[in-house]
Each structure stands twice: as C-alpha cells, then as structure tokens.
C-alpha cells in the first residue's frame, strides 16, 4: 500500500527501492498486489498518467501489479481547503472522476471512509451511493462499519435473479441470431448485459 501518491514518479521510487534491494528472482516470484492512495487535487487531476505509468512499471518489472486505488477524501479536502459536510457534496466531483479513472484502467475503485462512526444510516446511504456510482468497495475505520459496507456492495437476491435471467435470455437470443431484445420492459444490448456481471 502506497499512500499520498501525487505523481507517477512517487510510484516509480517504490519500484526502484525494491529493484535495488531485492533480487530480481525473489521479486518476480511474488504475487504481491499494489494498492495506491489518491489524496490530493494534483493526484486526482493526474490520475490517468499515474495509473498508466504504474501499470507500465508492473509490465516492465513483473512485480507489484496495481490492483486497486483508494480515494483519500479527508486529505483531499484538506488539500483543496474544503469543509467536510454530512452530504459530502464537496467531494462529489472528485469521487466521480476517481471512479471513471479507475474503471478506464480496469482497476478496483475503493471509496473514502465515512468518519461519523455513530451515523450508521449516513454510512449506509454513502455506501449504496458509491456502489451505484461504480465503486468496488469502501474503506472502513471501525469494525461496526464492516457489515453495513459489505451489505451495500453485495448484490441483492433480486439483482442476482435479474442478472441470471438476463444472461440466460441473452444467450438464447444470441443462439437465435438476434441482437438487441426486450427483457422485463427494457431494451437489452451488450452494454446492459455487462451490468449483469
């Protein structure tokens, strides 16, 4: 885990330390995954370059594959001079850009912590919102938050049923040589099918 990544060079320094201090064989044999934190305005705006560079470092070195990226909202707010609010509107743009950048590189997008540990309803709402926006998961800072976050990110039985039936219907229509089709009142094509996964 590498916190406070602001530039591609920050990650390159980590790779260089390991390349210098450990044998190449020992490093390339590891399945260690890399998780980085984006916590500043500079890093948020430079995310595409940071992510691309980090993925290339792995490709060229064979170790530390970037697996997930975490949004550090409190440091981000401090960096831009924003005041944290229960509604979190001050980080709406940042969260949406963050998800888009992570997904553009097929990486897990981990949402920021919810610091009001006694406000379980607020945590539930923000977790469900993050899941709908495309976040893969959410940080927690207290054990009582874990089941709430897990429930928000776990597909409901209704969603699993919908996805199972949709995949079956899609396969059936493909076998018949059909393209788009109607399913439960919706027009279905490939992009909607991908949401079933």
Q: How far apart are CA 190 and CA 186, in angstroms?
A: 13
Q: Tell me how many degrees the CA angle 28-32-33 measures, rounded to the nearest 5.
A: 120
| Of 139, 161, 158, 163, nearest in space to 149 by CA | 139
- Residue 189 known to be catalytic: yes
What tokens were used for 90? Answer: 């001050």
Strands (E), the chain: 33-38, 65-71, 108-111, 137-138, 181-183, 186-188
Which is the catalytic residue, given 67, 74, 116, 189?
A: 189
Beta-bridge partner residues of 147: none
Give the three-state DSSP class for 157: helix
- Its sign, for the CA torsion 132, 138, 141, 144, is positive
Which residue numbers are catalytic? 189
């Amino acid at each position: 885990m590498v916190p406070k990544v602001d530039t591609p060079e920050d990650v390159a320094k980590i790779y260089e330390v390991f390349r210098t201090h450990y044998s190449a064989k020992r490093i390339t044999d590891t399945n260690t995954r890399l998780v980085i934190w984006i916590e500043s305005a500079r890093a948020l705006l430079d995310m595409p370059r940071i992510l691309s560079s980090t993925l290339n470092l792995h490709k060229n070195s064979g170790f530390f594959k970037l697996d997930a990226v975490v949004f550090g909202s409190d440091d981000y707010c401090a960096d831009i001079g924003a005041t944290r609010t229960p509604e979190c509107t001050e980080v709406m743009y940042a969260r949406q850009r963050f998800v888009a950048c992570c997904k553009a590189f097929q990486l897990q997008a981990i949402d920021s912590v919810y610091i009001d540990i006694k406000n379980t309803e607020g945590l539930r709402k923000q977790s469900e919102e993050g899941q709908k926006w495309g976040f893969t998961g959410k940080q927690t800072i207290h054990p009582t938050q874990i089941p709430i976050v897990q429930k928000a990110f776990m597909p409901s039985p209704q969603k699993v049923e919908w996805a199972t039936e949709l995949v079956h219907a899609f396969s059936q229509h493909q076998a018949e040589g059909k393209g788009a089709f109607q399913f439960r009142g919706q027009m279905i094509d490939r992009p909607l099918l991908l949401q079933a996964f």
